Amino acid sequence: MTHWYAVYTQPRHENKVYDRLLKKKIETFLPLIERWSRRKDRRKRIHLPLFPGYLFVRTSMDPYVHLEILKTDSVVRILGNDGKPIPIPNEQIFTIHALIKNGVAVTPCPYLKEGMRVRVVNGPLIGIEGFLVKAQPQKHRLVLSVDLIKESVSVEIDELDVEPITL
């Protein structure tokens, strides 16, 4: 039984790892998006990883294959818990694969979840920080609190206008 797993690579080595794993006959998926490069003298279309630093492999992940992946140059680790790789649900990889295959314009965005502390990066509220509360698909409520008086207000905001605050 095969599952998809995420492989973390050295920075900007995704294509090299992809080629090396294919040579080892390991099914590999590296989702790429097309962007314009910003060069001083010219502009050119280039392909960049959708998830920088990551690619995906589909395998049974027996000890031999696990070691072969880890021995591949520029592979840092296989994502998991306590050294044991954790499979990614097939439908998540299938969805990404379908979007890329059909040429749908995909834009990476930060991973957001309810209760996460976020900062507004676009619009009139730029720079404001608060907690994210999901109201409906694509629309969220940003809760802004004044701790001293223990009061809060909320405002509707588009999920693309916020980014998570990392400590």
pLDDT in tens, 26-73: 999 999 988 888 777 778 888 999 999 999 999 999 999 999 999 999
Q: How far apart are CA 167 and CA 155, in angstroms?
A: 24
Q: pLDDT class for 149, splitting at 50, 70, 90?
A: low
pLDDT for 167 = 66
Greater model confidence, 42 or 96: 96
Q: How far apart are CA 3 and CA 52, in angstroms?
A: 21
**What integer pLDDT is reported at residue 141 of this predicted model?**
73
**Sequence spans of domains, the chain:** 3-101, 117-164
Alpha helices by DSSP H, listed for the chain, are 14-23, 63-71, 90-101
- Please state which CATH number belongs to domain 3-101: 3.30.70.940
Please report the pLDDT score of residue 157 as a whole number: 79
